[in-house]
Amino acid sequence: MSINSVSQAMSASSWGVSAIRLPEDIIQKLIELGYNPNEVTTLAQAKDLIQKSENQAQNNSNSNSKQNKSDDNKDNPALYLRAKNLAQKMGLNVGSNLTLDDILSKISDESDKIMKKAVDCNDRLLFEKAKMFKSELQSLQEDVNGGGISNGIVYSYMDMIAKQNKLALGL
């Protein structure tokens, strides 16, 4: 066997290997998804594996978002209890299957109804009661949203600092 025939045989075998070589982006994607690119024999097989993995990941994220909604009560048990107590004060019946957001929505709707009724009947006592419910609801919503400090307080602090700066600059 001559050197030329060995060279031709080697180039033919290396050509066969490069014919099934996958593009770098596909190889990278397979590695990210946990597949061994050396075990994949065709481009179609690689694309199929990638598609299946992406579909499975999307299904998992959809089921996680549904579970997160129901876990809302478990994540904030103190806030959930406060919301339930406020709803009961207002005379609302809330079941344990409602999420925190659902309860807050019911409380908001009911406090709006009470406020409207107080205005329509010109009932000052009912109006004060509705304001108290609104205030408790706002406090609860701020705590749910991670506030703790209401926007009004922050705004008043910023306004005070602006006035002090104006005085200091003589404006």
* DSSP one-letter code for 165: H
* Residue 19: per-residue pLDDT: 45
The burial class, CB within 10 Å (0-12 / 13-18 / 19+), for 115 is middle
Find tokens 């109804």 and name the residue: 113
Share of the chain above pLDDT 90, in %: 0
- Given a cut of 60, whether residue 50 has pLDDT beyond it is yes
Q: What is the pTM of this model?
A: 0.45
* Residue 73: per-residue pLDDT: 57
Flag the least confident range among 79-88, 104-113, 141-150.
Answer: 141-150
Rounded-to-integer distance, Cα 116 and Cα 155, Å: 29
Rounded-to-integer distance, Cα 169 and Cα 61, Å: 55
Please list, in sequence order, all residues whose beta carbon lies within 8 angstroms of the beta carbon of residue 100, skipping any fewer than 6 positions away.
72, 73, 76, 79, 80, 83, 144
The arithmetic mean of pLDDT across residues 44-49, rounded, is 84
Rounded-to-integer distance, Cα 131 and Cα 6, Å: 93
- Given a cut of 60, whether residue 7 has pLDDT beyond it is no
- Given a cut of 50, whether residue 110 has pLDDT beyond it is yes
* Residue 149: per-residue pLDDT: 56
Please list, in sequence order, all residues whose beta carbon lies within 8 angstroms of the beta carbon of residue 111, skipping any fewer than 6 positions away.
90, 130, 133, 134, 137
Residue boundaries of the structural domains of the chain: 3-69, 76-169
